[in-house]
Amino acid sequence: MRDFARKSDIVCRYGGEEFIFVMPEIFAKKALQRAKSLREAVGHIHLRYGGVALTQITISIGLATYPKHGENRHDLIAASDLALYKAKNTGRNKQNCIKKNSI
């Protein structure tokens, strides 16, 4: 993930299998494009264990923007969680930005 981060971005683990990727000064459309590129790059990772190919790695990404989806970290995390669950519930391995009226 750090390979996809700009100097101004912040990438950190948030819970067991969740990460937060803060992208300051970026529009939602560009952030979704970057999320798609990250998701596609992860899809090209092929892992092997003991000579056996493991299942393909996939990621689902939920996106929220400030101040449209929240004005503090709690609201933004809640909004991005909603977007993440929608991505997972509509087939997984997707990126999704929450709609304002979905909050």
3-class secondary-structure state, position 16: coil
pTM of the predicted protein model: 0.87
pLDDT of 29-43, one tens digit each? 999 999 999 999 999
pLDDT for 98? 86
Look at residues 37, 51, 29 and name the one whose alpha carbon lies nearest to residue 1. 37
Print pLDDT tens along the chain (103 aa): 888 899 999 999 998 899 999 999 999 999 999 999 999 999 999 999 999 999 999 999 999 999 999 999 999 999 999 999 999 999 999 999 988 766 5
Q: Domains of the chain by range and CATH?
A: 2-102 (3.30.70.270)
Please pick, among 17, 18, 25, 40, the residue that the annotation labels catalytic. Answer: 17
Looking at residue 61, its amino acid is: I
Look at residues 35, 31, 58, 60 and name the one whose alpha carbon lies nearest to residue 47. 58
Catalytic residue at 17?
yes
Is residue 77 within 8 A of residue 98, CB to CB? The reply is no
pLDDT for 103? 58
Eight-state DSSP code of residue 19: E
Q: Residue 93 class from Cβ within 10 Å (0-12 exposed, 13-18 middle, 19+ buried)?
A: middle
